[in-house]
Amino acid sequence: MAKIRVGIFGTGRGVDLARNFLYHNDCEVVALCDNRPDRLEKGVKRLGKTVKTFTDFDEFLSSGIDAVVLANFFHEHAPYAIKCFEKNVHVFSECISNGTMAEGVELIRAFEKSKSIYFIAENYPQMFFNREMKRIIDSGVLGRIVYAEGEYNHTGNATTKETKESLIYFEQHWRNYLPRTYYVTHALGPLMRNTGATPKRVTCFPIKKDVTNRPTASQVGDIASAMITLNDDGSVFRFFGHSSFGGTENSYRFCGTKGQVENVRAMGGQLNLLFNEWDKPEELEKCHVQYTPGYNDPQEELVKQSGHGGGDFITTRMFIECIVKNVQPEHPFDIYGAINMSSVAILAHRSMMEGGVPYDIPDFTKEEVRKQYENDRATPFYYSNGQTPTIPCSSDPNYKASEESLKKYREL
């Protein structure tokens, strides 16, 4: 079998992922595409190999590639995924699949006409401690999972020139307009993956931030959004998308009818396993067990070299395996799981704007449901094609970055 030819669209985050694809014998990275020539040059140097470079996506897509990594702007993946579907090119899409509900409809309709594999590149379920928690859940010792929590708390250093130049390099950049519910997959993905549950209803409340004169062009007035979902199996999730309170960390907790497991905050993947005396498995000496799991992977050395607790390598491996076997990924990495997570992100923001009013998450497997959202293009973002926001990005629609903050940002 000929090697799978992979192209990278977006050479910031995209090159990090490309380096993981290089470890797989079944594929090769053959092309990079970015609208910034300086990033293309840096990308080629980082990969340490000769690849074709493009500044035009259509030319890039027609260059003989079999699969595309979509690592362009966070909210602009769907139109490019659809172009891939039209050519039966496989798609590895970074984070949310669609920035609007209408894009979700267009994405699913185009996908169902194609022969493409679609994989949402959500890597946090593959962190070694999350994989261990899934193993425990699947063993049945916790009983039926009735409640789970997920928290993606990534504050970042907003004061440095390097942060601005690499991540938020113009005032209308998506990160300056990112509602706290939208970057949801790192919190929600592990909950869906480990339990098998799918959200069916969501409600959300904001946590507002203090006014600051730090160097920022962010127009988002919240530091977090607390989301709660009722799921198809009757369980409940509570989770935070991109939060910025306290210290940076990622935490997850799964509670069953017989016991619970969680990773210990700021302890490098250490787990807490807890039971009541009457539900304690016979093989355990104590009701409370605390330990750090291993990677437990046949390619452990490559996993350890990878980013996000091994998740970057494992997700690329899963994608390549799907292509080789010609099968769609398991839920929630498939397109239906991806659109469900994106719908939670979008509709939770609307719930927050309306004081916590619950929103039903649509089932886009049904065409009659798709029709209800096919013209829903509400968005808080600026787009590369000149489209401007149509809804606020904050719980307080009047929130704006201070003039002092903007002045300092522009200086940086």
pLDDT digits (tens, 9 = 90+) for 145-162: 999 999 998 877 767 788
Integer Cα distance of 245 and 156 in angstroms: 10
Mean pLDDT of the residues in the chain: 94
In the chain, where does the domain assigned CATH 3.30.360.10 lie? Answer: 131-298+337-370
Integer Cα distance of 187 and 151 in angstroms: 5
90: pLDDT confidence band, cut at 50, 70 and 90? very high
In the chain, where does the domain assigned CATH 3.40.50.720 lie? Answer: 4-124+312-333
pLDDT greater than 80 at residue 89: yes
188: pLDDT confidence band, cut at 50, 70 and 90? very high
Integer Cα distance of 98 and 74 in angstroms: 9
Radius of gyration of the chain (CA): 21
Q: What is the pLDDT of residue 363?
A: 97
pLDDT digits (tens, 9 = 90+) for 208-237: 988 778 899 999 999 999 999 999 999 999
Q: What is the pLDDT of residue 267?
A: 84
Look at 102-106, 310-314, 331-335, 345-349 and tell me which has the smallest mean pLDDT.
310-314
Q: What is the pLDDT of residue 25?
A: 80
% of the chain exceeding 90 in pLDDT? 81
Q: List the structure tokens of 120.
A: 């949402």
pLDDT greater than 90 at residue 166: no
- Average pLDDT over every residue of 27-44: 94
Q: What SS3 class is residue 138?
A: helix
354: pLDDT confidence band, cut at 50, 70 and 90? very high
CA nearest neighbour of 367 among 99, 83, 113, 82:
113
% of the chain exceeding 70 in pLDDT? 99
Domain 131-298+337-370 fold is Dihydrodipicolinate Reductase; domain 2 (3.30.360)
pLDDT greater than 90 at residue 98: yes
Q: Hey, which bits of 38-164 come out as E strands?
A: 52-54, 67-70, 90-93, 118-120, 145-153
Q: List the structure tokens of 91.
A: 């798609």
Q: What is the pLDDT of residue 158?
A: 65
Q: What is the pLDDT of residue 1?
A: 67
pLDDT digits (tens, 9 = 90+) for 239-280: 999 898 888 889 999 999 999 999 998 888 999 999 999 999
Bigger pLDDT: 89 vs 161: 89
Integer Cα distance of 289 and 278 in angstroms: 15
Query: b/e per residue, 224-242, with b = 16+ CB within 10 A?
Result: bbbbbbbbeeebbbbbbbb
CA nearest neighbour of 309 among 125, 134, 128, 94:
128
pLDDT digits (tens, 9 = 90+) for 194-206: 999 999 999 999 9
End-to-end CA distance of the chain: 50
Q: List the structure tokens of 72.
A: 């362009």
pLDDT greater than 90 at residue 191: yes
Superfamily of domain 4-124+312-333: NAD(P)-binding Rossmann-like Domain (3.40.50.720)
